A and B are shown apart, each in its own frame.
Chain A
Amino acid sequence: MATELPQDFVKGEEQIDLTGVSPASEGFSDPSSSFPKKDYLNTSSSNQSARGLKINKVYTGGGYKNISLNLKPVQSSVYPYNQVKETASGHIQEIDDTPGAERMLFRHRTGSGVEMRADGTVIISSVGNTVRITAKDEKVIVDGDAEMVYNGNLSLQVAGNFDVVVGGDYNVTVGGNKNDEVRGSHKQQVRKTQKTIVTEHQSNFVGGTQTETILGSANKIIKGNVKQIVEGGFDFYSGDDITMTAEDTIVMSADNTNIAANDMTVIGASGTIGGDNIIHYGKSYWGETFHGTLEGKADEAAFADLASGAYVAGGLGGPGSANYPSHNTTATINATSGIMNDYLHNSGFGIREVSVDPGNSLLNSFDRTEDYGGLSNRELTISEVRSKLRDINALNNQKFVGAMIAEGKLNPSYNQQAPKKIGRTASISGTPRRGTQPLGNRADVTKRFKS
């Protein structure tokens, strides 16, 4: 008579009637009626893995795109080198001494477990969750390379300091946004060059003072407009020359403007200089017409001095002498239209013609929107190209397709309409499958969605 065992222990197992065969309670047969399993009926009771008929492995689930697990194939065991212990529910323990295929396995019925392969590789696998707790310190040393993939989210909390020391390059690629919050100070020291490329916009907000000290030169090249709005004072000093030209207009206005120089030239082919209450000082004025009141003596007025001896009536007196006021007749260059045109467009003081990134070739070098037919503003991976091409509009975008082929990210045969060779086919009706029916020792699984 079979001993009564917990229901789940024998659930799903084939029942074999051992009544009257042997007294199970005395160990002559399996009291749970779990053995022999269906795979062992009428065959040797030695485990199939021990006989090399079956290879048990822990779950690996494959690698990741372009990340290999670098696992070598597992060889079958040779009897009697493999000591196998398999329980009723399917837990397996193997210690395999097969020459050249020495291996150890400790596997849960679900596929979780630890496996040590012939080459010393250790596989720790979990089909469910993994919880690892270290109450004190932990050291991890990897002498080779490591690759980690998290298909979900990853949170890292460090109560103390987080020190990262990288001997080579430190590359971070963020698909979405990157948010840094530094509650203390932030110091960045770059020993060589620093380059920042922002395809769209950049904003900086500084609540206090911003100081930028440049010990070399600074060049700011701007294709669009610049607006600098300063509520307070604006000091602009140069230890050398300042050159300011505009192809159109310069406007400078202030309630009080001071322009001073030891040697000053203010010229224009036309325009206005002066105002209602402007006082002019100078040595010499060159012009055509003066309007208003002049103080002093003009050249023609000096001739009136010749009449100084004619004051005695009846006789001709001797003539006086013309008394000219002294004046400077030094001339510079009169700013005629022709001279001003030459000055403004041909001289070293003339207007600079400004053209920044004509044809947008510099912009297009990092904003690829134009080159990629509007489908992306950055360089794409081969997988991303594949993703884009799922849309017929992208597939017909010759600019995009041409750029991708040119960059070696798309095979020129992308438009091949049919393959050279096909294999199996499967119709929409159910497919008979051998050896995959859920019989015997299996986890309880229900099909999803099936109503």
Chain B
Amino acid sequence: MIYVPDPVYNPDNQSVITPRTKLAEGISMARFLGGYGDKQTMTHIISKSERLSLAKQYYLQAQVILTVADDVSGEFSDYRLTVAEGLYRPAPGETLDVGSTNYMMANGQAVVYELIDEDGNNAAEKTFDLAVYLKDNIEFEKMILDYDSYDPGGELNAQIVMIMPKIRHPWAVTYQNKIETQFNNYVQSTNELVEILEI
């Protein structure tokens, strides 16, 4: 399908793409560069076309944030949807597995979101609700409900990896709407979201 972006925020209409480039009201490119999990800049992306491509991918991601903000039920009003990992820049010499999440985070297709409660903690239980909400309210290429036990403190961590389709010029997209649940990078289910309660 051909996606029709808001002309005000359409990156095609911007003369330059910088961290200040607005992708939606109140959402700039910086939102996807300053993920607390891996802060990056755009300085290594010199090509104008690459920057534009990145901005267009993040335009789709901005709609994810807006979709949650627009939730009228108030279900998530006490939680903050944060970008945990946005643009990924591999270390010199680091080879990324093609098609991996980090590979797609390097080109803007994927963004990792985390839901934070009022106490600043990972809201694992609510993250499942958010994944269900997103599944029903937005289209994507693939959404991964991602749990892990990496935290040295032994706490369960829940995040949502949202992968948007690669935009074909100018705005052609094909949504697959695949969903998956992972635990420590191991797939627990496909085409189904599974809530993990205990590790």
Contacts and interface: CB of A to CB of B under 8 A. Distances in A.
14 contacts: A60-B77, A65-B116, A129-B26, A151-B31, A152-B26, A176-B39, A390-B85, A391-B96, A394-B94, A394-B102, A414-B149, A419-B198, A447-B67, A449-B175
Q: How large is the interface on B (under 10, 10 to 19, 20 to 34, 35 or more residues)?
A: 35 or more
B118 to A, nearest CB: 5
B191 interface: yes
The prevalent SS among residues of A at the interface is loop
Given A391-B97, A420-B198, A428-B192, A63 B137 contact: no
Given A390-B102, A409-B152, A419-B197, A65 B114 contact: yes
Interface stretch (A39-47, A138-146, A378-386): A378-386
Counting chain B CB atoms within 10 Å of each CB, the highest count among A111, A377, A423 belongs to A423
Given A382-B151, A383-B36, A438-B72, A63 B185 contact: no
Contacts of A450: 139
Interface in A391-443: 391-395, 408-411, 413-428, 430-431, 433, 435-436, 438, 442-443
Contact of B188 (A377, A390, A413, A418): A418
Contacts of A66: 120
A152 B28 contact: yes
A383 B84 contact: yes
A435 B119 contact: no
A64 B82 contact: yes
A392 B72 contact: no
B55 interface: no
Interface string A316-356: 00000000000000000000000000000000000000000
Interface stretch (A264-272, A279-287, A304-312, A368-376): A368-376
Interface of A: 57, 59-71, 111, 127-129, 151-153, 175-177, 369, 374-377, 381-395, 408-411, 413-428, 430-431, 433, 435-436, 438, 442-443, 445, 447-451
Interface stretch (B8-16, B46-54, B128-136): B128-136
B93 interface: yes
A171 to B, nearest CB: 15
A127 B26 CA distance: 10
Contacts of B118: 60, 62-63, 68-69, 71
Nearest to A385: B150
Contact of A421 (B117, B192, B198): B198
B17 interface: no
Interface string B8-48: 00000000000110000011101100101111110100000
Nearest to B164: A449
